[in-house]
Amino acid sequence: MATIFQKPHALTDAPLHYCPGCTHGIVHRLVAQAIDELGVEGRTVGVASVGCSVMCYDYFACDMVQAPHGRAQAVATGLKRAKPDNVIFTYQGDGDLAAIGTAETVHAATRGENLTVIFINNAIYGMTGGQMAPTSLPGQITQTTPYGRDTDTAGYPVKVCELLSTLDGVAFAQRVTVDCVKNVNIARKAIKKAFQNQLDGKGYSIVEVLSTCPTNWGLTPVESLEWLRENMIPYYPLGVYKDIDAGVKKGGASQ
């Protein structure tokens, strides 16, 4: 009897601290699978950002660096410039990547820094207890938009893949989700490609994963997947936004 599914080697045995049903865990596994499949654990260095995934340095079996909030891609740039043969990825939330880290994100992207960026968009600041994120939906109730996000005062969500696809340095930008097995598989391929691109020296690759936060959304894990499907996917269309190989640029929604 063969084991056809087990914990990837690139995940340590430390139990994850995430809330029950939080899809951060699924994405962790997909990243680890990509590292396993490409056989690069020994030369991979991950950058943990500040957000619920801050402690992912304990979970990934490769070397890890914990970066200041928002600065993961600057730290990753330093790591990559120091050791270009290493495989560097960042793992960042929406607050980290698209609020405080906006400048670092835009500029790593426009520099075409040869990095793999895993971006967890859960439309909320999970770790600090559920404040509005730059990606919170219009009308969404959060701890700091108790009456729903009012676009008049709190502005509109930032659509990261759309924004970054306008930049010349970006090699690959795809938005995926992990709400069902089919989408998990698409996400797996996208993440692997984002790593493969780095090995091929193609430049900046980002995978945006629409993810859940059952705790701060105030929903059960299963309800959260539904909320994501009903609210997030329509606002944040899935698909490849940019792929210098395939010539896809902006708005292409083919999966």
Ligand X SMILES: Cc1ncc(C[n+]2csc(CCOP(=O)(O)OP(=O)(O)O)c2C)c(N)n1
Helix (H, G, I), strand (E, B) or coil at 16: coil
User: If binding is defined by CB under 8 A, does position 162 make contact with a copy of itself?
Assistant: yes
User: If binding is defined by CB under 8 A, does position 235 make contact with a copy of itself?
Assistant: no
Minimal distance, residue 182 CB to a copy of itself, in Å = 28
Find which of Mg ion, ligand SF4, another protein, none residue 78 binds, CB within 5 to 8 Å per kind: another protein
Write out the DSSP string of 71-115. -HHHHHHHHHHH-TTSEEEEEEEHHIIIIITHHHHHHHHHTT-S-
Stretch of 29-37, 42-50, 61-69, 158-166 contacting a copy of itself, by CB under 8 A: 158-166
Stretch of 46-54, 162-170, 200-208, 240-248 contacting another protein, by CB under 8 A: 46-54
User: If binding is defined by CB under 6 A, does position 52 make contact with ligand X?
Assistant: yes
- Structural element, H or E, at residue 118: strand 116-121
User: Tokens 């997030």 — which residue?
Assistant: 232
Helix (H, G, I), strand (E, B) or coil at 239: strand
Helices 72-82 and 102-110: angle between axes, nearest 10 degrees: 40
Q: Residue 39: CB partners within 8 Å, gap ≥ 6?
A: none
Parallel, antiparallel, or unpaired for β 87-93 and 116-121? parallel
Copy the structure tokens of residue 129.
Answer: 């207890």
Amino acid at position 19, single letter: C
Nearer to a copy of itself, 97 or 225 (CB): 97
For residue 206, give Cα distances in angstroms to 10, 18, 36, 164: 20, 23, 19, 9
State which of residues 61, 117, 133, 228 lies at the interface with ligand X (CB under 6 A). 133
State which of residues 112, 131, 162, 219 lies at the interface with another protein (CB under 8 A). 131
Nearer to ligand SF4, 213 or 238 (CB): 213
Find which of another protein, a copy of itself, ligand X, none residue 82 binds, CB within 5 to 8 Å per kind: another protein
Q: Please, which of residues 114-173 interact with ligand SF4 by CB under 6 A? A: 122, 126-127
State which of residues 35, 177, 214, 240 lies at the interface with ligand SF4 (CB under 6 A). 214
Stretch of 36-44, 93-101, 139-147, 188-196 contacting a copy of itself, by CB under 8 A: 93-101
Nearer to ligand SF4, 115 or 133 (CB): 133
